[in-house]
Amino acid sequence: MIELLRGLLCDDPHERWSVNDLELWSNGRRLSPLQPRQEKRAVRGFAFAGEEYNTCRELAFAMSLNWDKAHVPMIDGSLEVWLRRGIDNKELADVVTTAIKNARQAPAADVKLAEELLVTRILMLLDTLAPIRYKGFSALPLGFGPALAVIMGTKSDPKLFAECLLRDVPHIWFETRPEYDPANSQIDNLFKDLKAYMQQTALGYGLERLLYDLNEALPCQSSLVADSFVVEIGELLPALEQTAKRIDPRTMPMDRHIAAFIACRFDFNVERQITALNAAHQERQIIGILSLLGTVQWKLGPESLPGLASWMGAHLGSVVNGFHSRAKRREMEKELPKLVRAGNLPELFSYVENHDERRRDDEGYLLARAEFAASSQEANEIETGTRRRTDQAMRYGHQAAGMIAMMLALTVISILLLIRFL
C-alpha cells in the first residue's frame, strides 16, 4: 500500500499516478517507486506571526492564513534576505526583489491594491504547487468553476471570487509557473473572456454566465426550473411549460440564470435577443424574452407549448399598447388568444413584432399628427384672424366717433357764432 499511496498522493502532478498507472498496479505490475522529495530547508527559520518556518511552502501557507500581515516582511526586505541567506536561493530572491520594486512604483492611490497583488504573487513564487491564494479565497485555475458553484449554491458573498478575476490574479498564477505549458495559454485566454463577461451586469452575463461556462454539467439554477434538474438546453422549455401550470402568470418567465444558461448552452447566436432583454423600455424587454424563448423552440422544439405561450401572453399588454392605432390594438386583442392556444412562440413573436405593421402604424401615426397639427394651425389662424378684425373694427369705430364728435362740435360753434353776430 505504500507504493499506492506514494503514487496517488505525490505532490508533483506530473509524477502523480494516473488511472492507467492505477490499473497497472492493480494487475500486479510494479511501477518505479516514487521517492518523496524533500524540500530544501533553511539554515535558520523565518520568524512570522509568532512562529518560525524552515521551508518556503510552510511560510507561504502561514502567510496565506495571515494575509493582513504578510506584506510587512516583503516590503521591509526581510523575506528577501532570508531567501538569499537562509534558503540560499538567489534566483528566487531576485524574482521576489523585482516584484517588490514593481509594487513600490504604484501610485499612492493604488498602494493597497499593489500590496495585495504583491502578496498573491510572492505566495505563488514561494509555493509553485499551491493553488491561487487571494485573501480568503483559494483555488486552482480549473477549480474556479466548482468554487463559484459552491459560492452561489450556498448564497455566500462572491466578492473575493469577483476580485480575483477583475484583478487578473489567475494571469499572475500563469506568469509564475516554473515551466511553460501550452495548455496554460488556453486557460489564461479563457479567464480573459470570463473577465469580460463578468464586467457586464446585464442579463445573460455576470457571475451567472461564468457559472455555466465553468460548470458544463451544472443544471440551471433558476428558481423557475430548479425542481426539473435542467442540464441540457433542450430540457429548458419543457420545464418552463410545467412551471407555467402552477406559477403566478404575473411572474416573468425569465431571470438572470435562464438568460445566462441559454447564452452559454444554446449552440446558436442569440446576442441580438440578449441585447433586447436588457432594453430600457419594458415593451422591448418582453419582445426580447419572447424572441429568445421562441428561438429555442424553433431550433429544439417541442412543437407546441400552450402553457408557456399563455404565460408569455399575460405580459404582452404593453406590446399591444405600443401600437398607436386603436383598430390595430382591437385586432391584436382578438388574434392573440388564438396564437396563444396554438403554443407556437415563433409565430407569436412574428405576429407581435411584424415590422411591416409597425412601419404602417408609425407612418399612420405621423400622418395623423401632421393632420392634427395642420387643423390646429388653421383653427388658430381663424381664431387669431377674428380677434384681429374685431380689434380693427373697434379702432376704426373710435376714430370715426372722434371725427363725428369733432364735426358736430365745429357745427355747433359755427351756429352759435352766427347767431351772436346776426
- The predicted-structure confidence for 8-45, as pLDDT tens digits, reads as follows 777 777 778 788 888 877 887 766 655 556 677 888 89
Question: Tell me, what's the pLDDT at 2?
Answer: 74
Would you call the peptide bond into 302 cis, given omega within 30 degrees of 0 as the criterion?
Answer: yes
When pLDDT is averaged across residues 139-160 and rounded to a whole number, the result is: 95
Question: Tell me, what's the pLDDT at 414?
Answer: 80
Do residues 125 and 176 touch, judged by C-beta distance below 8 A?
A: yes
311 has pLDDT over 90: yes
Which residues does residue 133 pair with via DSSP β-bridges, in sequence order?
A: 138
Q: pLDDT for 71-98, tens place per residue?
A: 999 999 999 999 999 999 999 999 999 9
381 has pLDDT over 70: no
Q: Where are the alpha helices (DSSP H) in 167-217?
A: 169-175, 182-198, 206-214
Instruction: Locate 252 and state its grid cell.
Output: 416573468
| Nearest of 206, 194, 197 to residue 168 by alpha carbon | 194
Confidence of residue 373 (pLDDT cuts 50, 70, 90): confident
Which residues does residue 53 pair with via DSSP β-bridges, in sequence order?
A: 46
320, HSE (Cβ side, Cα atoms, 13 Å): 19
Do residues 254 and 292 touch, judged by C-beta distance below 8 A?
A: yes
CA distance 298 to 280: 26
